[in-house]
Structure 1
């Protein structure tokens, strides 16, 4: 889980390392090191006198290539007057806090860090957790800006994934309340429910459902749970994913345990590490958020995640991230256009090939059907705002409406049954299910507007 007290945690870790971290880098650590790398590290861990000397040098030098490093340091030295003054001097921007500097940096991709910034970034993150060397190291390949990668407040696997967790019959899940929300999944007749009250603590599961290896990549910060197939079809064992402890624009960066590459949770593509630059993109599967009551009604034979996960957590309803979910504020910085929707309003996101679109969940108040198009593809959306439920299907030329009988639609041609796989007509015709997902507006808006779907 990401903790708001991340800055205080880092301060404690930093004090432990001050006596052992050399101000001059080891040659084997920085094959492409420069004086700027050493000086930037001194701003982080040197004495006050040394820090101020380096900052004065940076101001006199007058180049903005050190700004990304100084923004990194500011997170852990938020009250450093000289550091803040140097940032103002180099950029001409007003004094502001770390979060606002990160937003400014996101909005100014022309500000490039100095050569060797990857060395600096690696050394800083290894102060927090030596295992971060698996992800960030000198020369690491990346398709996103390293300076925008932020520490989320935990170590590697600090938010532990659930791997092949125990499932139990619905009738034995006496810990569940009817209004608890679940991630509902059905593949090849294997129907399961993964309660959000548990997944809020783990944010990732690796499992085999209906014979298909899958992983649910759930970013609590952006309200997005996406189900990915993990068999890449390369003849190797399926990928197994975990939470790295890093964020990019307030979205988790997951990692695969085979190569320790970092993956964009929202797009299913590797963005840092050895797999970066390949054409890999994880295939998505449909997943439904709904209430436990509704899921049981439609799937009485469902199994559900056992509350005995092997970890000691308070899995009570509404416990994890209570304050964050109740707040309109983001925990980590990310640019967002709020002219259409509030940053943390829920939307349903559908991505078909290179086209993507989002619909506010408010449009599904009191159950609703939307017929629309994504690119040239006609789609049918059936949703309920209260339970955060939306299912998407391919459309046709017919006009649909909710039938009086629950679980059915009506069209000019007759009745259609709503299933997890398809809309099924009385004559056997089918309109297949599409793999969309729910998200906070800010996450989809940030990624779609920035072109990050092309990462």
Structure 2
């Protein structure tokens, strides 16, 4: 693992006191990407293996716009009364939500995360303000400090669009623009006032190169020695019982936009929809795509790939997963950890 210091600590400021507004009041574009956290607790399960509902405590689902996270990368939030960290690394395209409560030999403790200014294999290194341990964002593992070797629990979350979130969850809430200054808004290592309408990583997302050098224009980035996947192919990674399987978006699209697989002891179905990739526990159904993009039929019902909901009132259980680029998934899990039809 290659760890390097790039910026001063907190030059990219985390969001530590978030506030929210109704999704109907969001002034941005409906196509803006968001990370959505519905419920930290597992939904009540039906006899057929599907889930009966979302947030058990009645809290609204909350969406965190990527155009804000570009400038903050970490939001320390509370969902369903559970402390969570909504994390985003632009270089790795990695959106992962973690529980902030960790188990230590001295008992449970709640951590607050910030941006360390370091990268590990071009991935964000977070630090916690309680112990100053450092954590690789895409793995959720402490790589240095007194908590080294500790793993954070992944929370089920979705990366979708504001429009899709508004349609499926009209009573949902969206993070209010935090404001302030960030190094991501600057041409130097010093923070500058944030303009959220700017897209600081637009050119990086459109080029083939990957990594810090590619973003800064100081080189083409790292080598990529495979031609079956592009390094910045979007992947949704699922881990269970020591097994890891990443579902590449382009492979799903070429396979009827659906994949059936087993990861550890869980049967998984993954969907490629117009707004992203989504993975759920499969109760044993055989899903097939319909002519309407993002919808599937199985067990006598029509299902939404984005929400996991059926037209007869059932709901699939969304799995804890990591959305990231292929190169970052391969860095963490090796070249063979990708689903193929």
Bucket of the pairwise TM-score, normalised by the shorter protein: 0.7 to 0.9
The question of whether the paired residues in 1 share the 8 Å contact of 2:138 and 2:322 is answered with no
Q: Distance in 2 between matches of 1:363 and 1:339?
A: 13
1:364 deviates by 4.3
The structure-2 alpha-carbon separation of the partners of 1:259 and 1:354, relative to structure 1 and needing over 3 Å to count, comes to: same
Counterpart residue number, 1:393: 280
The question of whether the paired residues in 2 share the 8 Å contact of 1:186 and 1:420 is answered with no
Query: 2:122 aligned to 246, 250, 260, which one?
Result: 250
SS at match of 1:228: strand
- List per-residue Cα deviations over 1:163-201 (Å, max 9, x = no partner): 131111122222x11111111221224211111111011
Counterpart residue number, 2:328: 443
Query: 2:267 aligned to 352, 363, 378, which one?
Result: 378
Counterpart residue number, 2:111: 239
Q: Distance in 1 between matches of 2:113 and 2:224?
A: 28
Counterpart residue number, 1:181: 33
SS at match of 2:83: strand
Provide the aligned length of Structure 1 versus Structure 2.
297
1:203 deviates by 0.6
The question of whether the paired residues in 1 share the 8 Å contact of 2:270 and 2:277 is answered with yes
Q: Distance in 2 between matches of 1:308 and 1:396?
A: 40
The question of whether the paired residues in 1 share the 8 Å contact of 2:64 and 2:175 is answered with yes
1:376 deviates by 4.7
The question of whether the paired residues in 1 share the 8 Å contact of 2:20 and 2:176 is answered with yes
Counterpart residue number, 2:145: 273
Counterpart residue number, 1:261: 133
Structure 2: segments with no counterpart, 5+ residues: 40-54, 182-192, 213-220, 337-341
Q: Distance in 1 between matches of 2:131 and 2:288?
A: 48
Structure 1: segments with no counterpart, 5+ residues: 1-143
Q: Say yes or no: does 1:164 pair with 2:17.
A: yes
SS at match of 1:284: coil
SS at match of 1:178: coil
Q: Distance in 1 between matches of 2:263 and 2:313?
A: 27
1:302 deviates by 1.3
Summarize the alignment of residues 47-196 of structure 1 with structure 2, pairs less than 5 Å apart.
148-152=2-6, 154-174=7-27, 176-187=28-39, 188=55, 189-196=59-66
RMSD of equivalent CA atoms: 2.9
The question of whether the paired residues in 1 share the 8 Å contact of 2:236 and 2:278 is answered with no
Q: Distance in 1 between matches of 2:306 and 2:209?
A: 34
Query: 1:325 aligned to 196, 199, 205, which one?
Result: 205
The question of whether the paired residues in 2 share the 8 Å contact of 1:414 and 1:425 is answered with no
Q: Distance in 1 between matches of 2:13 and 2:125?
A: 14
Counterpart residue number, 1:355: 243
1:436 deviates by 1.4
Q: Distance in 1 between matches of 2:102 and 2:265?
A: 28
1:437 deviates by 2.5
The question of whether the paired residues in 2 share the 8 Å contact of 1:370 and 1:382 is answered with yes
The structure-2 alpha-carbon separation of the partners of 1:300 and 1:425, relative to structure 1 and needing over 3 Å to count, comes to: closer
The structure with the larger Rg is 1
The structure-2 alpha-carbon separation of the partners of 1:408 and 1:326, relative to structure 1 and needing over 3 Å to count, comes to: closer
The structure-2 alpha-carbon separation of the partners of 1:198 and 1:427, relative to structure 1 and needing over 3 Å to count, comes to: closer
- List per-residue Cα deviations over 1:97-146 (Å, max 9, x = no partner): xxxxxxxxxxxxxxxxxxxxxxxxxxxxxxxxxxxxxxxxxxxxxxx5xx
Higher strand fraction (1 or 2) = 2
1:408 deviates by 6.1
Q: Distance in 2 between matches of 1:281 and 1:341?
A: 28
The question of whether the paired residues in 2 share the 8 Å contact of 1:254 and 1:265 is answered with yes
Q: Distance in 2 between matches of 1:203 and 1:216?
A: 8
The question of whether the paired residues in 1 share the 8 Å contact of 2:14 and 2:72 is answered with yes
Q: Distance in 1 between matches of 2:313 and 2:159?
A: 29
1:283 deviates by 0.8
1:349 deviates by 1.3
The question of whether the paired residues in 2 share the 8 Å contact of 1:193 and 1:305 is answered with yes
Summarize the alignment of residues 424-435 of structure 1 with structure 2, pairs less than 5 Å apart.
426=312, 431-435=316-320
Q: Distance in 2 between matches of 1:210 and 1:353?
A: 26
Q: Distance in 2 between matches of 1:416 and 1:212?
A: 32
The structure-2 alpha-carbon separation of the partners of 1:426 and 1:177, relative to structure 1 and needing over 3 Å to count, comes to: closer
Q: Distance in 2 between matches of 1:284 and 1:334?
A: 28
